[in-house]
Amino acid sequence: MGPLDGLKVVEFGGIGPGPHGAMLLADLGAEVVRVERPSGGLSVVPDASRDFLLRGRRSVSADLKSADGRAAVLALVSSADVVIEGFRPGVLERLGLGPSDCLAVNPGLIYARMTGWGQDGPLAQRAGHDINYLSVTGVLHAIGKPPLNLVGDFGGGSLYLVLGVLAALWERQRTGLGQVVDAAIVDGVASLAQMIWSMKAQSVWEDSPDSNLLDGGCPFYSIYECADGRSVAVGSLEPQFYGLLLAGLELSASDLPEQMDRDSWPLLRKTFAEAFLTRTRDEWSEVFASSDACVTPVLSLEEAASHPHLVARGVFTSEGAAVPAPRFSVEIFGD
């Protein structure tokens, strides 16, 4: 049971943000059926046991190029609330399973389309990956190096897909009508970066990597290597937290330049780097364990699963998957 209990979703099989969005809906209680595309009629396909993105739903197969396969999918769609698809624009239209086809059999359907470039525009038919969507929106330039695909595929992709689905479902409560949701990663990434756009507009963000508070240019918002070759993350932005950082490092503010004197940031970085090299990562973790200095160990994926805070909250399952999020005042998730 969950807040979306009773919601029926049909997901066209794909990779990345589409399955992640379907997973999120399933985590919240929706009944999700994933349509795979092997040849033949409609039949049960077992989920991959270690692909956590496929959890919480059953899979069927259908040959979308056959009349029987299309009829089987439309039968599923006719009783569904939501369809999720991640093909290039026009693919499902050519197969007779586009928005107009599906809305014809189910006028209240929310037809959610997940793409990188969107349903229109000069790049709509072009291939792309997370790094490409970040590059054209200016976000990759701001970050300065290729990040994990969390920012584009999942931050700007599946999360905005789910937001669009939930908003469209709310509107359907008033109108009784479905609609098409065009979730493009480039749109979502640009929206995610709104604070950076705001800082630039206020002249507190320089359009050059490694020169700002949050992009690695700031010595008190950075990563430092320790004596054992492992690292700590420092996020001591506010003056009170910065003071605690200096205290933990046994440094005196009177011996250092002003915190916000950007011309002196290279000196501060050198000073902090030398200090952190005097102890191991875990020794520094102990120093800052009870401090609001915002200093934490940089953990590997394996280490993260056993971090006391994450263990206490039960963030990971015994198989190593993250549990559903967010949490609700009424417990909805079983073991």
Please state at what angle helix 159-175 crosses helix 185-192, rounded to 10 degrees.
100
For residues 335 and 4, is the Cβ–Cβ distance under 8 A?
no
What are the tens digits of pLDDT across the range 2-53?
Answer: 999 999 999 999 999 999 999 999 999 999 999 998 754 455 544 456 789 9
Do residues 65 and 109 share a domain?
yes
Parent domain of 243: 221-298
The pTM of the full predicted model, rounded to 2 decimals, is 0.92
* Predicted pLDDT of residue 48: 56
The domain that holds 184 is classified in CATH as 3.40.50.10540
User: What pLDDT does 209 receive?
Assistant: 85
Residue 175 shares a structural domain with residue 269: no
Signed CA dihedral, 167, 169, 170, 172: sign only: positive
171 and 238 fall within a common domain: no
Place 147 in a pLDDT band, splitting at 50, 70 and 90. Answer: confident
The catalytic residue positions are 129, 153
Residues 149 and 234 in one domain: no
pLDDT beyond 60 at 215: yes
Q: Where are the alpha helices (DSSP H) in 28-154?
A: 67-78, 91-94, 99-105, 130-136, 139-143
Q: What is the mean pLDDT of the chain?
A: 93
Residue 160 has pLDDT above 80, yes or no: yes
What pLDDT does 124 receive?
96
Judge if 89 and 178 occupy the same domain.
yes
Is residue 118 within 8 Å of residue 190, measured between CB atoms?
no
For 300-316, write each residue's pLDDT tens digit. Answer: 999 999 999 999 999 99
Residue 207 lies in a domain: no
3-state secondary structure of 23: helix
In a domain, 67, yes or no: yes
> What does the radius of gyration of the chain's CA atoms come to, in whole angstroms?
24
Q: Give me 54's structure tokens.
A: 């496929």
